[in-house]
Amino acid sequence: MPQLLARHLAHPRRGEGHLDGSAYLLLTRLSMAGPMSVGELSEALGLDTSTLSRQTASMLSSGLVQRIPDPEGGMARKFRLTDEGRRRLDRERSGNVSGLELVLEEWTPDDRAAFAGLLERFNLDIERRAGRPWPRPAPQSDGTRTS
């Protein structure tokens, strides 16, 4: 059964306007956390900076993100969603939700709540085991993290 879930989630929708998995992941993180540098994205997602540089370059050229100076005055430039990036992310997320609603339409409210709770626990445990607990502490003005 885990193979079926993985295959279903990994099968991207095809066609014009649909985001690939890496763009969806990066846009979602930027939507949640606000502007981030390649280094911050690397730390948050556990991905190599060279991979993220390629992915952000592709998203820049597609108009999904823009590069901005660090709003907090740091040296690294950061990436922020554009209006187009937010629109495409919202549309993709809406499609994902609609697909899940079709799968879950015959489930009871209690079954849906139990599934959501276990899925949240599963995701939090993955992040914790990877050394990237969520939610992450907010950075302080001196660059250290609060607990």
Q: Which residue is it, tokens 């390629």?
A: 54
Residue span of the structural domain in which 144 resides:
107-147
Q: Give the residue among 12, 57, 13 at the shortest CA–CA distance from 38.
A: 57
| Pair 146, 86 in one domain | no
Count CB neighbours of 49 within 10 A.
14
| Total domains, the chain | 2
Q: What is the pTM of this model?
A: 0.74
| Pair 26, 97 in one domain | yes
| Pair 76, 136 in one domain | no
| Pair 112, 146 in one domain | yes
CATH of the domain at 71: 1.10.10.10
pLDDT tens-digit readout, 10-55: 455 555 567 888 999 999 999 999 999 999 999 888 899 999 999 9
pLDDT tens-digit readout, 95-140: 888 888 888 999 999 999 999 999 889 988 888 888 876 655 555 5
